[in-house]
Amino acid sequence: MEIAFTKLQGNGNDFILIDEHDREVIPEDMKGAFAALYCDRRFGIGADGILFLQASDEADIRMRLFQPDESEAAMCGNGIRCLAKYAYDAGYVKESCSVETGAGTVPVTMGYADDEFTATITMPTPAFERSAIPATGTGEYKQEIRGFTVYAVNTGVPHAVVFTKEIGAVDIATAGPAIRNHPTFVEGANVNFVEQGDGDTIRIRTFERGVEAETFSCGTGATASAAVAHHLGNVGDEVRVETKGGPLIIRFGDSVTMEGPASTVFVGVIPL
């Protein structure tokens, strides 16, 4: 018996996708352990998470994401682009579709231009109230933690946002966990360190909850960072967010959208 998989990445945020559209492949009670085993970059395949593509009763397809710490994440912007690319290539969806996630149903438009795949995701509306992040206290989140002024917003999952003059000078391995695990964050938080660029450009580095390390890119983190910068009046309605893995475009209007690429890295099978 073999388990077929596809490895995909969006701006260097990489995922192993298991197609469960027609049948369950990994038993429900084993999905977390499967993620812990195969996300390992030395003893497994290596990835920031496992995507399970499933059929949905309320959308065109369903995305579930299990992370290396065996937890399930409600939402992932880069993950949705990767899932959408696979589903589009497999013929499950067309140029426009909806994806069921733990953070609600997410509209996606996508396609190829000069063999490059790009998808635009309508992201969950950024929620700034502490109760929606979730975080202790009332009102919008602004807290001093370890010498950093920390803002927070929920863009499908909780994100802390820290503005700094030079993101390259931040010791993310130390500062990230201290903020991620701060007791004000009821469920913990992803942590984004943000440097203002020219005009409507920001540069970010993200310490990702569940991965418990810095990742090359985080779609919800890019959205969160742009949302806080926009909320504070530092950027306009179209923001270029430069991540370690490449740029994402976040637009603010009647809804908030994220535009970015996704690509297939390789396909394979896991022998059992």
Distance CA 248, CA 241 (A): 5
Distance CA 24, CA 226 (A): 37
**Do 240 and 200 form a contact (C-beta atoms < 8 A)?**
yes
Q: Is 13 annotated as a binding residue?
A: yes
Q: Is 46 annotated as a binding residue?
A: no
Q: Is 192 annotated as a binding residue?
A: no
In 55-169, where do the E strands start and end? 61-66, 72-73, 96-101, 104-113, 116-123, 142-145, 148-154, 158-163
Q: Is 67 annotated as a binding residue?
A: yes
Active site residues: 76, 218
Q: Is 138 annotated as a binding residue?
A: no
Q: Is 77 annotated as a binding residue?
A: yes
Q: Is 136 annotated as a binding residue?
A: no
Q: Is 125 annotated as a binding residue?
A: no
* Cis peptide upstream of residue 134 (ω within 30 degrees of 0): yes
Q: What is the DSSP letter of 92?
A: S
| SS3 call for 93 | coil
Q: Is 180 annotated as a binding residue?
A: no
Binding-site annotation: residue ranges: 13, 67, 77-78, 190, 208-209, 219-220
Binding-site annotation: residue ranges for substrate: 13, 67, 77-78, 190, 208-209, 219-220
